[in-house]
Amino acid sequence: MRMNGCLLAYTDTTLLRNLVRTKGSVRDTMAGDDRERTELIWQLRQIVGEDNVALDEPMSKHTTFEIGGPADLFVVPETTEEVRDVVAACRQAKVPYFILGNGSDLLVSDDGYRGVVVCLADGFTNVSIDGSEMTCQAGVSLREASEMACELGLTGLEFACGIPGSVGGACFMNAGAYDGCIADVLKNVRVIMPDGSVETIAVDDLALGYRKSRIRDDDLIVLSATFALREGKPDVIRARMDELTYKRESKQPLDKPSAGSTFKRPEGYFAGKLISDAGLQGYKSGGAGVSKKHAGFVVNLGGATAADVHTVIAHVQDEVERQFGVRLEPEVRFLG
Ligand SMILES: Cc1cc2nc3c(=O)[nH]c(=O)nc-3n(C[C@H](O)[C@H](O)[C@H](O)COP(=O)(O)OP(=O)(O)OC[C@H]3O[C@@H](n4cnc5c(N)ncnc54)[C@H](O)[C@@H]3O)c2cc1C
């Protein structure tokens, strides 16, 4: 099946429905004085609508770790203009903001975030196809994108079928797995620049490397990404996706909340092997521990706090360095 120039709308309103809208004022510790805060809340409601602004939103509901205290404000924009205006309002009020995708690479502090979380994973879910090019808005999940590509007989995104991130987060991280990564299939991204302008940037100008990009370094906000795929046979694509899913399910602790591989791969080593060789598999602090199934994952064993995860990460870093002289660098990003 080939669909030219069609627009497929995947609008999932679950998150919007689930937002707990707390009555009352934002906690006192949010940056800026009271008048500015009240003004900001009013402005954000004007921009995205009252239903798309939540106060004191628990971040544990928006991270795959299922950990994290409240964000002072949680905003769900649905258009480019809304994102731009939300960010401009935060900047003007001198209140920090954070762009959230699926929260699958994130550890949010137990105290939460004193600022505005701008969630793109819900309002930006359109996909359009033009020949073998697929343009996904930033909030489309990589899994959906790879499923759709498979159904359309387009090959290239099979590697992404088990990565639980959004297209925006995946471009930011240059996500990859099993010898494939975003850089291999990305044509360009449409972004909001720090000055508020909207630009299309070609992949060659994004400085994509191992879990890094200009998107991260230059504070760009991804609105959409265009992937240059190739025609393939759906049954062959499906078979490859099934194979990768099997590998993932057999090796990774997918039954436990986590943020995936906790550490980056150090040059010349594998983080998981170093951790297991250091005898740390099963090491625990509170509700967090090094997975017994895959040493590269710190998992939430039940009721873990961010402090528990930090303790496990620090212990693993120290012990691996002591035993092997290699300092592991977290891949998971910290917020708050
Ligand atoms: C079980 C499991 C398995 C995983 N396997 C893999 C794997 O095989 N390979 C891999 O690379 N990763 C893997 N991950 C990690 C994670 O899924 C990826 O890094 C993913 O790309 C993060 O996307 P996200 O939308 O969840 O980003 P988030 O966690 O929401 O955010 C991550 C960073 O991206 C930024 N960001 C998000 N959206 C945007 C946007 N629109 N514009 C600008 N910046 C943005 C955020 O500000 C943040 O700094 C795994 C995670 C889990 C839980």
Report which of residues 21 and 232 the model is more confident about: 232
Question: Tell me, what's the pLDDT at 33?
Answer: 64
Section 200-220 average pLDDT = 92
Give me 128's structure tokens: 């359009």
- Does residue 210 surpass a pLDDT of 90? no
Fold category of 9-119 in CATH: 3.30.43
CATH node for 124-248: 3.30.465.10
Which of 141, 213, 261, 291 is catalytic? The answer is 261
Nearest CA to ligand 1 atom 20: 165
**Which pTM does this prediction carry?**
0.90
Q: Where in the chain is the domain with CATH 3.30.465.10?
A: 124-248
Which of 211, 213, 285, 291 is catalytic? The answer is 211
The overall average pLDDT reported for the chain is 90
Percentage with pLDDT > 90 across the chain: 86
Section 108-135 average pLDDT = 95
Section 165-175 average pLDDT = 96
Question: Tell me, what's the pLDDT at 135?
Answer: 98
Q: Where in the chain is the domain with CATH 3.30.43.10?
A: 9-119
- Does residue 107 surpass a pLDDT of 90? yes
126 strand-pairing partners: 9
Q: Where in the chain is the domain with CATH 3.90.78.10?
A: 255-335
Section 106-130 average pLDDT = 95
Where are the extended beta strands (E) located within the chain? 6-9, 53-58, 70-75, 97-100, 106-108, 113-119, 126-130, 133-137, 154-155, 176-177, 180-181, 186-192, 198-202, 221-228, 230-231, 284-285, 288-290, 298-300, 333-335
pLDDT tens readout for residues 287-316: 999 999 999 999 999 999 999 999 999 999
Per the annotation, the verdict on 60 as an active-site residue is no
Q: Which atom of ligand 1 is nearest to the CA of 258?
A: 53
Per the annotation, the verdict on 331 as an active-site residue is yes
Question: Tell me, what's the pLDDT at 12?
Answer: 33
Give me 99's structure tokens: 């762009």
pLDDT tens readout for residues 198-208: 999 999 999 99
pLDDT tens readout for residues 27-40: 444 545 677 788 99
The CATH architecture of the domain made up of 255-335 is Alpha-Beta Complex (3.90)
pLDDT tens readout for residues 50-80: 999 999 999 999 999 999 999 999 999 999 9
pLDDT tens readout for residues 75-100: 999 999 999 999 999 999 999 999 99
Report which of residues 234 and 37 the model is more confident about: 234
Question: Tell me, what's the pLDDT at 282?
Answer: 95
137 within ligand 1 shell (Cβ under 6 A): no
Q: What is the distance between the alpha carbons of residues 126 and 113, in angstroms, rounded to a whole number?
A: 29
Question: Tell me, what's the pLDDT at 43?
Answer: 96
- Does residue 281 surpass a pLDDT of 70? yes
